[in-house]
Structure 1
Amino acid sequence: MDTTNSTVFVSGATSGLGLALAQRLQAAGSTVVIGGRRQDRLDALAAEHGFGTVAIDVADADSIAAAATDVIARYPELDTVVTMSGIMRNEDLRDPGHVSDALETVQTNLVGTILLIDAFLPHLLSRPAATLITVSSGLAFVPLTATPTYSATKAGVHSYTQALRQQLVGSSVEVLELAPPAVQTDLMGGADFGGMPLDAFTDEVVELLDTGAAPEILVENVQPLRWAERDGTHQQILEAMAGRGH
């Protein structure tokens, strides 16, 4: 991916990782379109930063389809899509009431990612060179006990991305996977996971994109989770994270 000269759509970019990445890509020289559910927030960010915007709810198939049609019509040179949207909720699996949170998490994080890819892939395949970046998590590799469905959906995104990448071998579309560690954002209402500072994370991600790191974008902080199974530390890390009380 050429971070200095791409036309990028980032879903879920009205706050947190998505907004930080959108700002960095725009600062590097790319044209950036952001998506989110809140029109007032989109309008404010457009006024402040000059982003293109589109209203999108990735839990709604019709909203995804409409947003993709709109973005492609307004930005026919679009060559990069980042599937950043996601929700993360605590669940007590002994309480049947957790199921509603579980289903919403699957719909947003996994089904939403699949539908976003479907909506934009035909256009990306028509471009001479294009990039699709899915967003999983370090928790795809070692789950956080308190957020079991979130962790499972991110494992699903990882697996789906691998299959997609293999299916697209020989095409014009490069498939990357961004797997963040804990980062200081408002993902769970600003809960403190001891995550890395947002600016430091974004700096490292952009540097990895610029240096052609592929196919997985792995900052240093996520390496222990990504390779826990290989390194024989999976159970140790699982128990350590469970012991944080989050």
Structure 2
Amino acid sequence: MQINDNTIFIPGATSGIGLALALALQARGNTVIVGGRRAELLQQIATDHPGIGTVTIDTADPASIRRAAADVRSAYPDLNVLITMAGIMRVEDWTTPGFLADAEATVTTNLLGPIRLIAAFVEHLRGRPDATIVTVSSGLAFTPLTATPSYNATKAAIHMLSESIRLQLADTSVKVLELEPPSVATDLLPGQRESSFAMPLDEFIGEVVDLIETQPDAREIQVERVKFLRYGEARGDYDQVVATLNQLDPHGTQQPNDAELSPERIGR
């Protein structure tokens, strides 16, 4: 993916990583459209950030995705990048009743949402000379956090979905790029924004944009902090990584920082 001269749609970009990435990409010379459920919030974003396009979309609703996709394709025929940012993260306890609603909501938003979004845009993107689908998984796709089983599972599925559709689209103009965040200081979970363990949002976005610019042919965007989780199995210390992550963060409210995840701390 090139860093500039794109037309980019980012559903799920009204706050957190999505909005910060949208603004950073706009600053690099891209036309950016953000999507979200709340019309008043979208209007505020448009007012605060001139030039940002906005579209109302609920990625948990197939009909909303179809309507929004038609509106975006009509208003922005040069669209060549889709970033499937929308996602939720909920703490679940599968040893007690009551977890199913959160689990189903997580699967609907984090897995069915991106699948439906890609289905709504892939033919359009194939008609562009240089297009990219950016999926968003997580370091937890590769190392599970005890407190968030459905989130872990959906992000693991997004990783393998990315790998698979990349193969199918290999002979087309569409690239598939997987963004793999660590814990970032946002409101994804209660207390995560204030957590000393979470990566500062501006630091994360800065590293992501630098990686896109310096590695335009990359298949995965991995900031340094996520590599502890991403490559535990490849390094041969997967069990230690799982244990370390969950000892430091048993309730799913934060993830360890670089010092906590040092080789000395986990004995490698």
Asked if TM exceeds 0.5, the reply is yes
SS at match of 2:121: helix
C-alpha separation between the residues in 2 aligned to 1:242 and 1:100?
A: 24
Query: Structure 2: any 5+ residue segments left out of the alignment?
Result: 252-268
In the TM superposition, residue 2 of structure 1 has moved relative to its aligned partner by 2.2
The equivalences for 1:190-209 within 5 A come to 190-191=191-192, 192=195, 194-209=197-212
- The corresponding residue for 2:58 is 57
- The corresponding residue for 1:34 is 34
Judge conservation of contact 1:9–1:78 (CA < 8 Å) in 2.
yes
- The corresponding residue for 1:237 is 241
Aligned length: 246
In the TM superposition, residue 193 of structure 1 has moved relative to its aligned partner by 6.7
In the TM superposition, residue 189 of structure 1 has moved relative to its aligned partner by 2.9
Q: Answer yes or no: is 1:217 the counterpart of 2:221.
A: yes
Q: Kindly name which structure, 1 or 2, has the bigger radius of gyration based on alpha carbons.
A: 2
C-alpha separation between the residues in 2 aligned to 1:64 and 1:46?
A: 21
Query: Structure 1: any 5+ residue segments left out of the alignment?
Result: none
- Structure 1 stretches (4+) deviating beyond 3 angstroms? none
Judge conservation of contact 1:128–1:172 (CA < 8 Å) in 2.
yes
Give the letter aligned to residue 245 of structure 1.
P
Percent identity between matched residues is 52
TM-score (norm 2): 0.90
In the TM superposition, residue 213 of structure 1 has moved relative to its aligned partner by 5.0
TM-score (norm 1): 0.98
Shifted more, 232-241 versus 34-43: the winner is 232-241
Deviation string, structure 1 residues 160-180 (Cα, Å, up to 9, x no partner) = 110000000110001100000
- The corresponding residue for 2:130 is 129
In the TM superposition, residue 13 of structure 1 has moved relative to its aligned partner by 0.3
C-alpha separation between the residues in 2 aligned to 1:24 and 1:233?
A: 35
Output the aligned Cα RMSD: 1.0
Deviation string, structure 1 residues 26-84 (Cα, Å, up to 9, x no partner) = 00110000001111110000111121000111111001111100001000000001000
In the TM superposition, residue 96 of structure 1 has moved relative to its aligned partner by 2.3
Q: Answer yes or no: is 1:174 the counterpart of 2:179.
A: no
C-alpha separation between the residues in 2 aligned to 1:193 and 1:156?
A: 29
Judge conservation of contact 1:142–1:238 (CA < 8 Å) in 2.
yes
The equivalences for 1:15-34 within 5 A come to 15-34=15-34
